[in-house]
């Protein structure tokens, strides 16, 4: 009897991914994040990271982390609900609530954990979730964990959402309903039509939640996010944020109505069952909030760089999709084309990774460029010139 290799399916899947240009090649960073970094032993222009404001290597954040280690040690050694809540955690949460202009906030170990903590705490298998079809994977996983039926509406389309609500959530229903959308969509860089979605939530008496991972530090006054951008304070039940993108560190948070935040302290499973963020991380995040509270210069520089880069790229003939934020997708179509484009850019000292299925739909592969306040115009000019050169080599413009 022939013995079947029970792990052959992994080798087969890898071969398929490689054949279709979907195998992810993970590069290694050997320096702090910045406009130029060392990757696989090579100094390259960084057009990849989520370090929107340059906080990942900011001297004030590093100093805050160092001081926290001296004062509090390297780890909390417990979950938040038993013995892991330090004064640093509560201080950060008060600062985040003030920054977000909400009643309260709670911090988690990541933005992903924030979603899988919050969604199952608000709805269960007897309830309903209405989710934008392009919502982030962490939202999708949080929805699945809740057990609630998931009803997807067309991306960024309030009319589609209303039809779904009419069909599935009649007036007087005893079920709870939760509408969920990203604030900024991470692959296309477009912004959710939040005012229209909030109006529908109010009309149909549904809760509404916004995952603003890519809006924090980017949109709104001083980087307060999509809700602030649209002046919707008090009308959104809960906002999810991350501390690993514009804030430059690690962690996530939930901000919103106090009753929801207190509920998450009792029901949020990552809060109850996973160790708390380290003192160094929390202190660095707190320092990032302080900087944003005191100055909007970095946010303004980010947007200045964004406008400059997009204008020049579009003039060169590149398509940047529906982006309205510093996330700038350079649309290429085929996954193999995008991977070859990325490889050739790296040869020219530009680090910009290809994004393909399943992160984005088939035939919508791209190079996703992430603009930062750390870039100079000279940096951006260098990157644009290399994009044009490679595009001509591959005949994509």
pLDDT in tens, 250-263: 999 999 999 999 99
CA distances from 277 to 50, 107, 253 (A): 20, 8, 11
Catalytic residue among 214, 310, 375, 386: 214
Q: Is 159 among the residues known to form the active site? A: no
pLDDT of 359 reads 85
Average pLDDT across the chain, whole number:
96
Catalytic residue among 245, 310, 364, 375: 245
Q: Quote the pLDDT of residue 362.
A: 85
Angle, helices 137-146/111-122, rounded to nearest 10 degrees: 30
pLDDT at 161 over 70: yes
| Annotated catalytic residue within 107, 114, 131, 186 | 186
Reported pTM: 0.94
Q: Phi and psi dihedrals of 162, rounded to 5?
A: -65, -40
pLDDT in tens, 63-89: 999 999 999 999 999 999 999 999 999
Residue-range domain boundaries for the chain: 16-46+296-394, 59-294
Going by pLDDT thresholds of 50, 70 and 90, the confidence category of residue 123 is very high
Q: Is 233 a catalytic residue?
A: no
What is the Cα–Cα distance from 211 to 340, expressed in whole angstroms?
32
Known active-site residue 229: no
Give pLDDT tens digits for 344-358. 999 999 999 999 888
Which of the two residues, 305 and 361, has the higher pLDDT score? 305
Alpha carbon distances (Å) from 130 to 153, 195, 256, 358, 369: 7, 16, 19, 21, 30
CATH topology of domain 16-46+296-394: 3.90.1150
Fold of the 59-294 domain: 3.40.640
Confidence band for 55, pLDDT divided at 50, 70 and 90: very high
What confidence score (pLDDT) does residue 1 get?
A: 64
Q: What percent of the chain has pLDDT over 90?
A: 91
Residue 340 has pLDDT above 90, yes or no: yes
pLDDT score at 128: 98
């Amino acid at each position: 009897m022939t013995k079947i290799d029970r792990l052959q399916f992994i080798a087969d899947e890898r071969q398929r991914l490689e054949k279709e240009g979907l195998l992810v090649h993970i590069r290694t960073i050997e320096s702090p994040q910045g406009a130029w970094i060392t990757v696989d032993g090579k100094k390259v222009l960084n057009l990849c990271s989520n370090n929107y404001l340059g906080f990942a290597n900011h001297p004030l954040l590093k100093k805050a982390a160092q001081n926290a280690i001296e004062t509090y040690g390297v780890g909390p050694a417990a979950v938040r609900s038993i013995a892991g809540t330090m004064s640093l955690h509560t201080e950060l949460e008060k600062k985040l609530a003030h920054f977000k202009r909400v009643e309260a906030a709670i911090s988690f170990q990541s933005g992903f954990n924030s979603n899988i903590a919050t969604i199952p705490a608000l709805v269960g298998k007897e309830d309903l979730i209405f989710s934008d079809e392009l919502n982030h994977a962490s939202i999708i996983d949080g929805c699945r964990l809740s057990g609630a039926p998931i009803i997807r509406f067309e991306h960024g389309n309030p009319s589609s959402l209303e039809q779904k609500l009419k069909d599935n959530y009649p007036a007087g229903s005893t079920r709870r309903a939760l509408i969920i959308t990203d604030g900024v969509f991470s692959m296309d860089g477009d912004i959710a039509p939040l005012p229209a979605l909030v109006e529908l939530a109010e009309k149909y008496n549904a809760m509404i939640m916004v995952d603003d991972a890519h809006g924090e530090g980017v949109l709104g006054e001083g980087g307060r996010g999509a809700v602030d951008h649209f002046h919707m304070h008090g009308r959104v039940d809960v906002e999810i944020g991350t501390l690993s993108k514009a804030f430059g560190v690690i962690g996530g948070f939930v901000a919103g109505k106090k009753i929801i935040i207190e509920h998450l302290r009792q029901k949020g499973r990552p809060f109850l069952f996973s160790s708390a963020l380290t003192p160094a991380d929390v202190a660095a995040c707190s320092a990032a909030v302080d900087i944003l509270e005191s100055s909007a210069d970095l946010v303004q520089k980010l947007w200045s760089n964004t406008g400059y880069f997009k204008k020049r790229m579009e003039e060169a003939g590149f398509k940047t999709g529906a982006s309205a934020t510093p996330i700038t997708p350079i649309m290429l179509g085929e996954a193999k084309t995008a991977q070859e484009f990325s490889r050739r850019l790296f040869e020219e000292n530009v680090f910009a990774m290809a994004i393909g299925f399943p992160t984005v739909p088939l035939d919508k592969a791209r190079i996703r460029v992430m603009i930062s306040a750390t870039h100079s115009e000279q940096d951006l000019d260098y990157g644009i010139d290399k994009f044009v050169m490679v595009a001509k080599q591959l005949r994509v413009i």
